[in-house]
């Protein structure tokens, strides 16, 4: 069973629609009690880092998320959800993250328009199960102004937007995509299918 974290920080209907289309069972996790029976966890997110962490704490979801990761079960952060996997963010000051992947979240340094919005190609740098059978230069859909600042050992794919942007990150069973798989058509569907089949 796949659990989708709902901390009221974004509309999760698009990710639910994709999972239904792919035919995998799921349930919404919006309280500590809902973690029972979950063997894969998705952490979506849109908006501000600090507010997202506050909502996770307010809805008593932090312990369940950390316990899921510590148990070695697959976990996928999407967009802001990916950024929350890191130790901290500089968005609107300094905010503490989940600390599941070493590194921090910083603003993209570019003269190009922010947010980075639209389709961009992936450069795969490490083969991981999440990217199985995904070709180089697969195009996926981004919407963000901040990026992960982390060691290359935790980066499985990048994109270019004025500078190199980590697009897929991982630390063991914990993975994240800076882009939105649920908006990335066939390659997004492939990535999500890979995640469900882990």
pTM of this structure: 0.96
Task: Tell me what the mean pLDDT of segment 18-31 comes to.
Answer: 94
pLDDT score at 93: 84
Q: CATH no. for residue 155? A: 3.40.50.880
Number of domains in the chain: 1
pLDDT score at 7: 82
In angstroms, the CA 151 to CA 67 distance is 24
pLDDT score at 96: 96
Please provide the average confidence, as pLDDT, over all residues in the chain.
Answer: 95
pLDDT score at 133: 96
Residue pLDDT, tens place only, 29-54:
999 999 999 999 999 988 889 999 99
Q: Find the domain containing 153 and state its range.
A: 2-196
Task: Please report how many Cα atoms fall inside a 13 Å half-sphere around the Cα of residue 53, on the Cβ side.
Answer: 17
In angstroms, the CA 33 to CA 51 distance is 22
Positions annotated as catalytic residues are: 79, 180, 182
Residue pLDDT, tens place only, 118-148:
999 999 999 999 999 999 999 999 999 999 9
88-105 CB burial, b ≥16 within 10 A, e <16: bbebeeebebbebbebbb
pLDDT of 87 > 90? The answer is yes
């Amino acid at each position: 069973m796949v659990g989708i974290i709902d901390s009221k920080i974004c509309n999760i209907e698009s990710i639910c629609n994709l999972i239904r289309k792919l035919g995998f069972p799921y349930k919404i996790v919006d309280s500590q009690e809902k973690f029972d029976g979950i063997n894969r966890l998705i952490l979506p997110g849109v908006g501000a880092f600090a507010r997202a962490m506050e909502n996770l704490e307010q809805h008593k979801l932090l312990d369940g998320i950390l316990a899921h990761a510590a148990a070695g079960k697959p976990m996928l952060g999407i967009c802001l959800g990916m950024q929350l996997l890191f130790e901290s963010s500089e968005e609107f000051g300094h905010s503490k993250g989940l600390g599941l992947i070493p590194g921090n979240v910083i603003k993209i340094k570019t003269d190009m328009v922010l947010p980075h919005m639209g389709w961009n190609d992936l450069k795969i740098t490490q083969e991981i199960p999440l990217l199985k059978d995904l070709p180089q230069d697969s195009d996926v859909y981004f919407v963000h102004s901040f990026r992960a600042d982390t060691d290359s050992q935790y980066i499985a794919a990048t994109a270019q937007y004025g500078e190199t942007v980590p697009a897929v990150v991982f630390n063991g069973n914990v993975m994240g995509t800076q882009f939105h798989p649920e908006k990335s058509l066939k390659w997004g569907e492939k990535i999500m299918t890979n995640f469900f089949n882990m």
